[in-house]
Amino acid sequence: MKIGFIGLGNVGGKLSGSLLRNGVDLCVHDLNADLVGAMVTKGARDGQSPAQMMQDCDAVITCLPNPAASAAVVQVMLPHVGAGKIWIEMSTTDSDEVKRLGTLVIAAGGAAVDCPVSGGCHRADTGNISIYAGCDRATFERVLPVLTHMGRRILHVGDLGNASVLKVMTNYLATANLLTICEALTVMKAQGMDMGMTYDAIAMSSGNSFVHETESQLILSGSRDVNFTMDLIQKDIGLFQKLADDVGVPLEISPLMIRMMADGQSRYGQRAQSDRMIERLEEATGLQVLADGFPQALVDDEPEERGYEVVPARLA
């Protein structure tokens, strides 16, 4: 299967790298020619353009920063979609928009899948990230071998668009956890707790989480570079708020989170690293929430293995 990959940023560059590392016939494209060149030196082919890639490839993957970018790329590819062609959307995007674009691809004779990832850039780099896939079952079975080169756990979530709904929900939860972690660590520092011990206490408790085990380490080391920026968080939690608004669910925490992130952006920049949110509290208290022995960057120490479909136990 010939695969095209469009979007070689923080996540896309790592996902496409996993495909290349596992021997997939791959061509790539990005507005940044240097990113394309780096992948070509590793063995990928320059895809030239989205239109050319849809002509040359069996499936084209997009991993782009916002829904508008995906829409622009799909419109260029659409005249070249036909029977057997697949569009795979791996961006975190608006579910209504991915359904709209997917419907156009399907009407042209192709197939469409939304399959965003979850689990951190460090796991995207090793093929150990998790992937949701929204599409009909026949299409899922066609793309599963490709997805298992990029992710460890692959969950078929039903119809096109479902994966995008679930993805923004998970990013909403992760952001809520980041903000509460910032508050918890700052209060413990103010109380005079040893911060290394505090990290361990949380990690072995009911308050533990994926966010704590990853981002807390970067907060405490002073790195504050989780490879995920505030503008992306604002996009994702804004999409979650839109989901709630569309069905009339009155949220209280979500609007507060959006305001808090906006304040972080006003202080540190629109594209500041998301874990710099701790610095709002450091500035307010005069404290430094740091500890020795924590890494400057996250490294996935889980060995790379071919991915597999997750079948929920209740359905097995």
CATH of the domain at 270: 1.10.1040.10
Digits of tens for pLDDT over the chain (316 positions)?
999 999 999 899 999 999 999 999 999 999 999 999 999 999 999 999 999 999 999 999 999 999 999 999 999 999 999 999 999 999 999 999 999 999 999 999 999 999 999 998 899 989 999 999 999 999 999 999 999 999 999 999 999 999 999 999 999 999 999 999 999 999 999 999 999 999 999 999 999 999 999 999 999 999 999 999 999 999 999 999 999 999 999 999 999 999 999 999 999 999 999 999 999 999 999 999 999 999 999 998 888 889 999 998 776 6
How many Å apart are CA 196 and CA 209, to the nearest integer?
16
Domain contains 154: yes
The confidence score (pLDDT) of residue 79 equals 97
- Identify whether residues 6 and 153 lie together within a single domain: yes
Q: How many structural domains compose the chain? A: 2
pLDDT number for residue 316: 61
252, with CB counted inside 10 A (0-12, 13-18, 19+), is exposed
266 and 182 in a single domain? The answer is yes
| pLDDT of res. 259 | 98
146 plus 237 within the same structural domain: no
Q: Examine the domain organization and report whether 68 and 198 are in the same domain.
A: no
Measured between alpha carbons, how far is 250 from 273 in angstroms, rounded to an integer? 29
Same domain for 143 and 169: no
By the 8 A CB rule, do 74 and 47 touch?
Answer: no
pLDDT for residue 313? 77
| pLDDT number for residue 119 | 92
Which residues is 118 bridged to in the sheet? Answer: 130
Do 185 and 245 lie in a common domain?
Answer: yes
9 and 79 both lie in a single domain: yes
The model's pTM is 0.94
Q: What is the pLDDT of residue 302?
A: 86
Any domain includes 316 = no
Rounded to 5 degrees, what angle do the CA atoms 214, 216, 219 make? 120
pLDDT at 176: 98
Strand, coil or helix: 20: helix
Q: Which domain holds residue 44?
A: 2-163+303-309
Q: Does residue 80 lie in a domain region? A: yes
| CA distance readout (Å), 87 to 15, 20, 105, 127 | 16, 19, 7, 20
Of 238, 211, 269, 260, residue with least CA distance to 93: 238
Q: Same domain for 123 and 185?
A: no
Residues 273 and 208 both lie in one domain: yes
d(CA 33, CA 259): 36
Does a structural domain hold residue 196?
Answer: yes
Count other Cβ atoms within 10 Å, centred on residue 194.
Answer: 12
Looking at the structure, do residues 193 and 219 belong to the same domain, yes or no?
yes
Any idea what the CATH number is for the domain that residue 90 is in? 3.40.50.720
Backbone phi, then psi, for 277, in 5-degree steps? -55, -25
Q: Looking at the structure, do residues 186 and 256 belong to the same domain, yes or no?
A: yes
